[in-house]
Amino acid sequence: MNRIVAGLAVLALVLTNGAAAEAVTHHRPTNGFSPSGPWNTKLPRHVPLAPNSAAVVANIVQDKAENYQDWAFNTHTWSSPVYQVGPRTPRLHWTFSDCLGMPELAPVIADTLSSVPTPPGMLVSQGTDNTVAIYQPATDTYWDFWRASQDALGNWSACWGGKIEHYSRNPGIFTNPLGAAATGLPFGAFLVRIEELQRGHIDHAINIQTVRVQANCISWPANRNDGNTEGADFPCEGQRFRLDPTFDISTLPSPGARTIARAMQEYGLIMTDKSGSLASQGEDPRPYMATHGGVDPYDELFDPNHELPPDSYFWAGLLQIPVDRLQALPLDYGRPQ
């Protein structure tokens, strides 16, 4: 997935007066971003749909049918660990690995890499993206990185990423062109957290990825894209979706699926990237497992009766959520004037 964009224009920070009439929530969001940002704003019961909503959703249904027949819940692979670090976490100078052969981007990411609180033993995601997210409450600063790696001497590098200062006041959007995801949307905003599933409630929008996304189309809150398919009836990166609020989530077999489906109805889903299959992402559980006896918490959250083999939640966790009951909202839904 190409993480580089052409422009280096700075994205204006989000104001609170959205164009759409969204109901503002006033809780302290579990993802830590601004309560009035797009991730943490509940959808009204009745929202306008995109004129081609049915056609866009039909293409997502087709992507599922033709790519593993599944709605994957990516965690160990194709997701990201999330580290919350203390004020005394060692700060390291990371280097720019330039894996794409674009040395002109080195000064763009220099500040992001200059002083990163890096916990010892930090893990990055499995797969080719090798992502990781770091949040330091003491400085209210967030980082995420793409193709992060540590060499034999303990030195860290990344091919791309970004830093967000004043995290708790940020709407959940990187300054263009920073950020590990192709849309400039931070993992910290949308990843499903283990503790959210354990308490049975997610207070923010989650993400969705699919195989075919519209080329050259950017919908707020995304500020860039790596779309791959021509045609107006394919989803646009940054486009917001929701699960039909009339769908009865009590029919879903697992508590984890019910919690995620409720967030899809209340807050919606935002298209954050293209993918090899239809997928949403949860935080990588390996840091949690390291302090909890190696037990994968997702197994219990999605299969409390232990009816399936371990790690089955990857393919079975979201399988019963009906993709054809998704609804596509208009492009730039909720964008501030």
Owning domain of residue 297? 53-78+189-328
203 and 299 part of one domain = yes
298, 317 Cβ separation under 8 angstroms: yes
pLDDT of residue 29: 84
36 vs 4, more confident: 36
Residue 12 clears pLDDT 80, i.e. is over it: no
Contact 330, 9 (CB under 8 A): no
Last residue of a domain, one of 142, 165, 187: 187
Q: What percentage of the chain exceeds 90 in pLDDT? A: 90
Do 233 and 248 sit in the same domain of this protein? yes
Q: Are residues 276 and 216 in the same domain?
A: yes
DSSP 262: H
What is the tens place of the pLDDT at every residue in 161-177?
A: 999 999 999 999 999 99
Say if residue 224 is in the same domain as residue 154: no
Biggest CA-to-CA distance, the chain: 56
Q: Domain for residue 238, yes or no?
A: yes
Which of 187, 216, 231 is the C-terminal boundary of a domain? 187
Q: Which residues pair with 328 in a beta bridge?
A: 241
- Closest C-alpha to 14, from 163, 171, 164: 171
> Do 151 and 226 lie in a common domain?
no
Give the strands of the sheet with 72-74, arranged side by side.
72-74, 279-281, 206-210, 269-274, 240-243, 326-328
List, as one string, the DSSP characters of 45-90: SS----TTHHHHHHHHHHHHHHTTTS-EEESSBSSB-EEE--TTSP
- Do residues 227 and 179 share a domain? no
Domain count of the fold of the chain: 2
Is residue 36 one of the residues assigned to a domain?
Answer: no
Identify whether 30 is part of a domain.
no
Tell me: pLDDT of 4 over 60. Answer: no
Per this entry, what is the length of the chain? 337
Percentage of the residues of the chain whose pLDDT score is greater than 70: 92
Average pLDDT over residues 219-243: 98
Domain membership flag for residue 13: no
Same domain for 86 and 74, yes or no, is: no
What's the rounded Cα separation, in Å, for the pair 72 and 211? Answer: 12
| Domain presence at residue 72 | yes
Structure confidence at residue 337 (pLDDT): 82
**231 in the same domain as 221:** yes
Residue 263 belongs to a domain: yes
64 C-beta neighbours (distance < 10 Å), count? 20
Within-domain flag for 12: no
Mean pLDDT score of the chain: 92
Q: How confident is the model over 43-55, as pLDDT tens digits? A: 999 999 999 999 9
Tell me the pLDDT tens digit for each residue of 283-301: 999 999 999 999 999 999 9
* Residues 170 and 238 grouped into a single domain: no
Same domain, 88 and 170: yes
Same domain, 206 and 276: yes
Q: What is the pLDDT of residues 14-58, one digit of tens each?
A: 222 333 333 333 456 889 999 999 999 999 999 999 999 999 999
Distance CA 117, CA 112 (A): 11
Mean pLDDT, to the nearest integer, of 5-9? 33
What is the distance between the alpha carbons of residues 188 and 272, in angstroms, rounded to a whole number?
12
Q: Is the peptide bond before 253 cis (omega within 30 degrees of 0)?
A: no
Same domain, yes or no: 257 and 268: yes
Query: What does the block give as tokens for 141?
Result: 């600063």
pTM assigned to the model: 0.91
**pLDDT at site 23:** 36
Q: Is residue 283 part of a domain?
A: yes
Mean pLDDT of the region 118-134: 97
- Rounded CA-CA distance 119/96 in Å is 19
Among residues 152, 187, 222, which one ends one of the domains?
187
Separation CA 246–CA 265 (nearest Å):
9
